[in-house]
Homo-oligomer: A and B are copies of this chain.
Amino acid sequence: MQLNQATDYSFRIVLYLSSLAPGEIATAKTIAQREEIPMRYLLKTIRSLVKAGIVRSYRGMEGGFALAKNPKDITLLDVVEAVEGPVRINRCLKDHEYCTKHWVKPCPVHRVLGGIQATLIRELGGHNFADLLAR
Protein backbone atom coordinates (compact mmCIF):
# COMPACT_ATOMS: atom_id res chain seq x y z
CA MET A 1 0.00 0.00 0.00
CA GLN A 2 2.84 2.31 -0.81
CA LEU A 3 4.08 4.16 -3.84
CA ASN A 4 7.50 2.90 -4.76
CA GLN A 5 10.81 4.66 -4.76
CA ALA A 6 10.85 5.18 -8.52
CA THR A 7 7.53 7.03 -8.28
CA ASP A 8 8.78 9.25 -5.51
CA TYR A 9 11.92 10.03 -7.49
CA SER A 10 9.74 10.77 -10.49
CA PHE A 11 7.67 13.29 -8.55
CA ARG A 12 10.85 15.11 -7.69
CA ILE A 13 12.21 14.89 -11.21
CA VAL A 14 9.07 16.41 -12.68
CA LEU A 15 8.93 19.02 -9.95
CA TYR A 16 12.50 20.01 -10.69
CA LEU A 17 11.93 20.15 -14.43
CA SER A 18 8.87 22.27 -13.73
CA SER A 19 11.08 24.83 -12.08
CA LEU A 20 13.23 25.34 -15.16
CA ALA A 21 12.87 28.32 -17.46
CA PRO A 22 10.92 27.55 -20.65
CA GLY A 23 13.25 25.98 -23.21
CA GLU A 24 15.85 25.09 -20.63
CA ILE A 25 16.96 21.48 -20.43
CA ALA A 26 18.74 19.62 -17.65
CA THR A 27 21.15 16.71 -17.93
CA ALA A 28 20.61 13.48 -16.06
CA LYS A 29 23.71 14.29 -14.06
CA THR A 30 22.34 17.62 -12.91
CA ILE A 31 18.99 16.18 -11.94
CA ALA A 32 20.61 13.28 -10.14
CA GLN A 33 22.80 15.59 -8.09
CA ARG A 34 20.10 18.12 -7.32
CA GLU A 35 17.56 15.52 -6.28
CA GLU A 36 19.97 13.02 -4.78
CA ILE A 37 18.95 10.17 -7.02
CA PRO A 38 21.47 7.50 -8.07
CA MET A 39 22.46 8.48 -11.60
CA ARG A 40 21.97 5.10 -13.27
CA TYR A 41 18.69 4.55 -11.56
CA LEU A 42 17.47 7.95 -12.63
CA LEU A 43 18.36 7.19 -16.23
CA LYS A 44 16.30 4.05 -16.07
CA THR A 45 13.40 5.57 -14.21
CA ILE A 46 13.06 8.66 -16.34
CA ARG A 47 12.49 6.47 -19.39
CA SER A 48 8.99 5.72 -18.15
CA LEU A 49 8.29 9.43 -18.02
CA VAL A 50 9.60 9.87 -21.54
CA LYS A 51 7.53 6.98 -22.84
CA ALA A 52 4.45 8.37 -21.15
CA GLY A 53 4.95 11.70 -22.89
CA ILE A 54 5.56 13.62 -19.71
CA VAL A 55 9.23 14.32 -20.31
CA ARG A 56 11.11 14.94 -23.55
CA SER A 57 14.65 13.77 -24.01
CA TYR A 58 17.38 15.25 -26.15
CA ARG A 59 20.25 13.02 -27.14
CA GLY A 60 23.87 13.72 -27.88
CA MET A 61 26.03 16.49 -26.59
CA GLU A 62 24.06 19.37 -25.17
CA GLY A 63 21.36 16.80 -24.59
CA GLY A 64 19.24 16.29 -21.53
CA PHE A 65 15.66 16.35 -20.40
CA ALA A 66 12.80 18.82 -20.26
CA LEU A 67 9.08 18.60 -19.69
CA ALA A 68 7.08 17.63 -22.75
CA LYS A 69 4.15 19.78 -21.66
CA ASN A 70 3.08 22.49 -19.32
CA PRO A 71 3.47 21.67 -15.59
CA LYS A 72 -0.16 22.66 -15.23
CA ASP A 73 -1.09 19.73 -17.44
CA ILE A 74 0.83 17.11 -15.50
CA THR A 75 -0.85 15.59 -12.44
CA LEU A 76 0.44 13.31 -9.72
CA LEU A 77 -1.76 10.64 -11.23
CA ASP A 78 -0.04 10.99 -14.60
CA VAL A 79 3.30 10.32 -12.96
CA VAL A 80 2.07 7.43 -10.83
CA GLU A 81 0.50 5.73 -13.82
CA ALA A 82 3.55 6.34 -15.98
CA VAL A 83 5.77 4.58 -13.47
CA GLU A 84 3.54 1.98 -11.83
CA GLY A 85 0.73 1.48 -14.29
CA PRO A 86 -2.95 1.82 -13.45
CA VAL A 87 -3.81 2.41 -9.79
CA ARG A 88 -5.42 -0.70 -8.32
CA ILE A 89 -5.63 -0.83 -4.57
CA ASN A 90 -6.76 -4.45 -4.49
CA ARG A 91 -6.17 -7.52 -6.57
CA CYS A 92 -9.89 -8.07 -6.98
CA LEU A 93 -10.12 -4.71 -8.71
CA LYS A 94 -7.54 -5.85 -11.24
CA ASP A 95 -8.25 -9.51 -11.91
CA HIS A 96 -11.87 -10.40 -11.54
CA GLU A 97 -10.73 -13.96 -11.01
CA TYR A 98 -9.77 -12.98 -7.52
CA CYS A 99 -13.13 -11.61 -6.55
CA THR A 100 -16.72 -12.73 -6.34
CA LYS A 101 -16.28 -15.98 -4.51
CA HIS A 102 -19.70 -17.14 -3.51
CA TRP A 103 -21.36 -13.80 -4.06
CA VAL A 104 -23.58 -13.50 -7.05
CA LYS A 105 -22.98 -9.79 -7.46
CA PRO A 106 -19.63 -8.21 -6.76
CA CYS A 107 -19.03 -8.64 -3.06
CA PRO A 108 -19.43 -5.66 -0.69
CA VAL A 109 -15.69 -5.47 -0.10
CA HIS A 110 -15.13 -5.13 -3.80
CA ARG A 111 -17.67 -2.37 -4.16
CA VAL A 112 -16.46 -0.30 -1.25
CA LEU A 113 -12.82 -0.62 -2.26
CA GLY A 114 -13.78 0.43 -5.75
CA GLY A 115 -15.25 3.60 -4.34
CA ILE A 116 -12.19 4.32 -2.25
CA GLN A 117 -9.95 3.71 -5.23
CA ALA A 118 -11.99 6.16 -7.27
CA THR A 119 -11.52 8.78 -4.57
CA LEU A 120 -7.81 8.16 -4.50
CA ILE A 121 -7.55 8.50 -8.26
CA ARG A 122 -9.57 11.69 -8.17
CA GLU A 123 -7.27 13.15 -5.52
CA LEU A 124 -4.10 12.21 -7.37
CA GLY A 125 -5.52 13.62 -10.55
CA GLY A 126 -6.47 16.82 -8.80
CA HIS A 127 -2.96 18.04 -8.17
CA ASN A 128 -0.80 19.37 -10.97
CA PHE A 129 2.83 20.42 -10.86
CA ALA A 130 2.21 24.09 -11.44
CA ASP A 131 0.20 24.15 -8.23
CA LEU A 132 2.82 22.10 -6.43
CA LEU A 133 5.54 24.50 -7.43
CA ALA A 134 3.54 27.49 -6.28
CA ARG A 135 3.10 26.20 -2.77
Q: A129–B49 Cα gap in the complex (Å)?
A: 40
A1-43 interface bits toward B, Cβ cutoff 8 Å, 1 = contact, 0 = none:
1111100100110010000000000000000001110000000
Is there an interface contact between B116 and A120, defined as CB atoms closer than 8 Å?
yes
Chain multiplicity (copies) = 2
Is there an interface contact between A102 and B34, defined as CB atoms closer than 8 Å?
yes
User: What's the dominant secondary structure at chain A's contact region?
Assistant: helix
Residue of B nearest to A133 (CB): B108
Kindly state whether residue A119 has any CB partner on chain B within 8 Å.
yes
Q: Chain B contacts of A2 at CB under 8 A? A: 1, 88-91
Kindly state whether residue A55 has any CB partner on chain B within 8 Å.
no
Is there an interface contact between B76 and A112, defined as CB atoms closer than 8 Å?
yes
Given the known inter-chain contacts A3-B1, A36-B101, please indicate yes or no for A123 contacting B133, CB distance below 8 A: no
Residue of B nearest to A101 (CB): B36
Is there an interface contact between B120 and A87, defined as CB atoms closer than 8 Å?
no
Of residues 90 through 135 on chain A, the ones whose CB sits less than 8 Å from some CB of chain B are: 90-92, 98, 101-102, 107-109, 111-113, 115-116, 119-120, 123-124, 127, 132-133, 135
Q: Chain B contacts of A76 at CB under 8 A? A: 112-113, 116
